[in-house]
Amino acid sequence: MNREEFFSFREDFFTRLRQSGMSEHTQLAYRHDMEQLSDLIKDLPEENITRNTFVYALKRLSAQGLHPRSMARKLSVWRRYVADLIEKGCLNDNPLAGLKAPKAPSRLPKAVDAEKLNRIFDAPEEADNVYTRRDAAVFELLYGSGLRVAEAVALDLHHIDWEEGLVHVSGKGGKERVVPLGRQSVAALQAYLPLRVALAGENALFTNRFGTRITDRRLRQCLNDWTLRHGADRHLSPHMLRHSFAGHVLQSSRNIRAVQELLGHSRLSTTQIYTKLDFDHLAQVYDEAHPRAKKKADK
């Protein structure tokens, strides 16, 4: 398949991504990665798309100093596009088979100290209106229940179980889970809902000024504004609130399986990175529990 044919299926691909329920933010990222691939290989003398095409693209990204993690994400997008072409019968062989991006160095999740977060959440609000109450409710959910921003955006009114104090979440890949609502989240939601603006028939829990479902991009902007108003000394992203939730619950409970369920991780290895946030405790557990460590301590 030549270059022109390869990229001619892009719009059809993006349409299916949108129909699958993928968030707008992720769709834009996919589109950018496909456009970047087209730009990276435009000077290649070889017209046909082969394994060398993608090797060349990765080498150019590496020469530009792109982080291996970002390269791996782009490669994942390209894989999905190629898999889509194969599924449709437009491509017979997979030119990406066995191709791997450079391995990314291990990186600890960014978490914020619990006392610092409490001060930010408890800081007085400059104004009291539907938008400040909505933002407070969203951010309490992100930190109080460990939700992803896309999961919070997707919530409908009926997803809140007031009687049981639970929130029903639809996570990645349509995987559903039930997460407890914190006391502060319940209070923030109850303060917001009487003022909620919504068009007739709109079931979204969190809406914008037009009365329709708010976007995750808009919520990220709101979080930036909110942290500045509340005296934060650093930028806070929605995922930092989720990381902080995971780290703080793990440090208190020592139950990694429970944290895995709360976060909606399919693999325990994804959750295990949070154990690095609490290494001092793990070292103490080792010293107290392992027979050889005990013997050393006795001496």
Q: Which residues are known to be catalytic?
A: 148, 172, 239, 242, 265, 274
Q: Could you tell me which residues come within 8 angstroms of residue 195 by beta carbon, excluding any fewer than 6 positions away?
A: 129, 130, 133, 134
* Cα first-last separation, the chain: 70
Tokens 């930010």 belong to residue: 120
- Identify which of 133, 151, 154 has the alpha carbon closest to the alpha carbon of residue 142: 151
Structure tokens at 186: 């319940």
Strands 160-161 and 166-170: antiparallel
CA 248 to chain centre: 18
SS3 category, 146:
coil
Closest CA to 191 of 121, 117, 131: 131
Radius of gyration of the chain from its Cα atoms, rounded to whole angstroms: 23
Cα–Cα distance between 121 and 128 in angstroms, integer? Answer: 15
The DSSP call for residue 193 is G
Q: Evaluate whether 215 touches 223 at the Cβ level (below 8 Å).
A: no
Amino acid at 202: E
Alpha carbon separation from 147 to 15, 144, 199, 251, 286 (Å, rounded): 27, 8, 25, 18, 32
Is the CB of residue 149 less than 8 Å from the CB of residue 238?
A: yes
Helix (H/G/I), strand (E/B), else coil: 207: strand
Pairing mode, strands 176-180 and 160-161: unpaired
